[in-house]
Chains A and B, each alone.
Chain A
Amino acid sequence: TQLLEQSPQFLSIQEGENLTVYCNSSSVFSSLQWYRQEPGEGPVLLVTVVTGGEVKKLKRLTFQFGDARKDSSLHITAAQPGDTGLYLCAGDWHGNKLVFGAGTILRVKS
Chain B
Amino acid sequence: NAGVMQNPRHLVRRRGQEARLRCSPMKGHSHVYWYRQLPEEGLKFMVYLQKENIIDESGMPKERFSAEFPKEGPSILRIQQVVRGDSAAYFCASSLTSGGREQYFGPGTRLTVT
Contacts and interface: CB of A to CB of B under 8 A. Distances in A.
Q: Which bracket fits the contact residues of B?
A: 20 to 34
A88 B56 contact: no
A45 B100 contact: no
Interface string A39-58: 01111110010100000000
A92 to B, nearest CB: 4
B112 to A, nearest CB: 13
Interface residues of A, number: 27
Given A88-B43, A100-B42, A103-B42, A45 B102 contact: yes
B69 interface: no
Interface in B64-102: 91, 93, 98-102
Nearest to B103: A98
Contact of B100 (A41, A44, A96, A103): A96
18 contacts: A30-B100, A30-B101, A41-B107, A41-B108, A42-B91, A44-B105, A50-B101, A92-B99, A93-B45, A95-B98, A95-B99, A95-B100, A96-B56, A97-B56, A98-B33, A100-B42, A100-B44, A101-B42
Interface of B: 4, 6, 33, 35, 41-45, 48, 55-56, 58-59, 91, 93, 98-108, 110
Given A42-B107, A45-B105, A100-B44, 9 more contacts: A30-B99, A31-B101, A42-B91, A43-B91, A45-B104, A50-B101, A88-B42, A93-B45, A96-B48
